[in-house]
Amino acid sequence: MTCSSSIQDADDFWHPEKLARQAARFAARPELEISITHQSTFWEPELDDRRRAMQGHALTKEVLPGYVLQTMLARRRALAKVGEFNPELRFGEDTDWFIRAQDAGVPLELLPDVLVTRRFHKNNLTWQREADGLHNNLLDMIQHSLKRRRRNASDTNTVQPESQDDERTTR
């Protein structure tokens, strides 16, 4: 297999065959550039009250599609095409990266297998964001995606992150 990259958080768990299964998909589909898996979630008992309060939220589902970096295996060419993570985003950098990958038309496949378990505990950055009063950047990411799509309608070979201060408009 050509050069590829993957990221594992210290507090999450990978299935022992995660990389082998994803590498097999790359071998079967040479055009594939990103492979992601489904994920399960494990809540530490210290967050039982929070989990109950969030009942019905996607994060409380036992299994969900893993559009997070921990589930991803990406070829080097995908990383080069999509570009670096946006350093202005302390949270949501993975969501922004996946949006840019989609904008660039990078072939991605979601495997049906649950190969990652995300562990939620009181020290996760997700919960620290709330404690620090930081906002969710999702609306900004969508706005920047729409700007990129308009600007890159004829050439989407490289899709770079927008600056959060970028106020350019395109028509």
Which sequence spans correspond to the domains of the chain? 4-151
* Largest Cα–Cα separation, the chain: 51
**C-beta of residue 158 within 8 angstroms of C-beta of residue 102:** no
CATH architecture assigned to 4-151: Alpha-Beta Complex (3.90)
Nearest to 145 by CA among 125, 165, 159, 126: 159
Q: What is the pLDDT of residue 23?
A: 95
Nearest to 156 by CA among 106, 84, 104: 104
**Cα–Cα distance measured from residue 163 to residue 40, given in angstroms and rounded to the nearest whole number:** 33
One digit per residue, pLDDT tens: the chain, 171 residues? 456 777 767 678 899 999 999 999 999 999 999 999 999 888 778 877 877 777 877 666 788 898 888 999 999 999 999 999 888 777 778 888 999 999 999 999 999 999 998 877 677 666 555 544 445 666 677 777 778 778 877 554 555 555 444 433 232
Give the CA distances from residue 25 to residues 18, 21, 28, 32, in Å, rounded to whole numbers and listed in that order: 11, 7, 5, 8
Q: What is the pLDDT of residue 167?
A: 34
Q: What is the pLDDT of residue 31?
A: 96
**Cα–Cα distance measured from residue 121 to residue 170, given in angstroms and rounded to the nearest whole number:** 42
Q: What is the pLDDT of residue 166?
A: 42
Q: What is the pLDDT of residue 112?
A: 95
Q: What is the pLDDT of residue 27?
A: 95
CA angle 46, 52, 57 (to 5 degrees): 115
Q: What is the pLDDT of residue 139?
A: 67
**Cα–Cα distance measured from residue 72 to residue 26, given in angstroms and rounded to the nearest whole number:** 12
Q: What is the pLDDT of residue 81?
A: 94
Q: What is the pLDDT of residue 108?
A: 97
Q: Is 65 left (phi over 0), alpha (psi -120 to 50) or beta?
A: beta
Q: Are strands 4-6 and 73-75 parallel, antiparallel or unpaired?
A: antiparallel
